[in-house]
Amino acid sequence: MKSSVSRALVAASVTVALGLTAACGSDDDGKKPSEPAKSTQDSKPSAKKAAALSAADLEKAVLAKGDLKGYKIEKLSAADMPAQTVAAAPATCQPLADMFMFATDPASKARLGRTMTGPDELDATIITLALLAHEQDDAEKVMDGLRTATQKCKAYEHAGSKYREVAALTAPKAGDEAVSYKVVGLIEGQKTPMSFTVVRSGSTLAAFYSINLLKPKEFGVPEKIVEAQVAKVEKL
């Protein structure tokens, strides 16, 4: 298959996945889930909580062309990040269902999204990232909710789709704390693991979503992308 055709198929399928129009299956990908873990950088608690960044600040902080050599970065439209949330069943999985569209409870003050494809034309991995601006207390609540959900949620239904085999993954040592997890779906008849990583840096959440539709078992967010994005947020 030519690389250009592969990329086109992947891009189209990712749009479907992000739009929650694909039904999801219940089979695992065979990987053994790791134990839920909270990744934090050891530091003394700050006396002053960080305030929410503005929309303009997020534009300055998000990865852009030239920040990572060879990566193509495109804006994620507002239609792919709907503000309205839909109830998930069971309710214990709601934080995971919300994060699928980069939504949170408490709601963010501002947010933006980007999609990234790497320099290897044969690599069908698509990374979608978002920056979410919160007051720090709210950002901490969102992280606690995600962490609890990865421990208690095993499967859920949301917006007419089914998600199975929720499992915590080893979180990167980035920002103030981080959480990673996967869900397994069925997209175009193929079992497809989807990987999520969310990092809190002060009051800002950097969220990452990864999928590879051509090679489903090759999924995950490269550490260099997480590190680059968090570092740029922390420069503000």
Amino acid at 66: G
- Which carries the bigger pLDDT value, residue 116 or residue 47? 116
Q: What is the pLDDT of residue 198?
A: 98
Q: Who contacts 139 (Cβ-Cβ below 8 Å, separation ≥6)?
A: 132, 200, 202, 203, 204, 205
> What is the pLDDT confidence band of residue 11, given thresholds at 50, 70 and 90?
very low
20, pLDDT greater than 50:
no
The model's pTM is 0.80
Judge if the upstream peptide bond of residue 36 is cis by omega within 30 degrees of 0.
Answer: no
Look at residue 118 and tell me whether its pLDDT is greater than 60: yes
Asked whether 191 and 184 are in contact (CB, 8 A), the reply is: yes
List the Cα angle 42/150/157 in 5-degree steps.
Answer: 155
What is the rounded average pLDDT of the residues 15-40?
40
Mean pLDDT for the chain? 81
**Which residues pair with residue 73 across a beta bridge?**
116
* ω into 90 cis (within 30 of 0): yes
Q: How confident is the model at residue 210 (pLDDT cuts 50, 70, 90)?
A: very high
The phi, psi pair for 115, rounded to 5°, reads -115, 150
- Per-range mean pLDDT, top range of 79-83, 138-142, 157-161, 164-168: 138-142
Q: Which amino acid is at 117?
A: T
Give pLDDT, residue 181. 96
Average pLDDT of the residues in 200-225: 87
Using pLDDT thresholds of 50, 70 and 90, give the confidence band for residue 25.
very low
Can you tell me which residue has the tokens 């439209």?
A: 77
% of the chain exceeding 90 in pLDDT: 56
Confidence of residue 203 (pLDDT cuts 50, 70, 90): very high
The confidence score (pLDDT) of residue 84 equals: 82
pLDDT value for 213: 74
Q: What is 169-197 written as a DSSP string? A: EPPPS-SSEEEEEEEEEEETTEEEEEEEE
Residue-wise pLDDT for 70-112, tens only, equals 899 999 988 888 878 899 999 999 999 999 999 999 999 999 9
Given a cut of 70, is residue 202 above it in pLDDT? yes
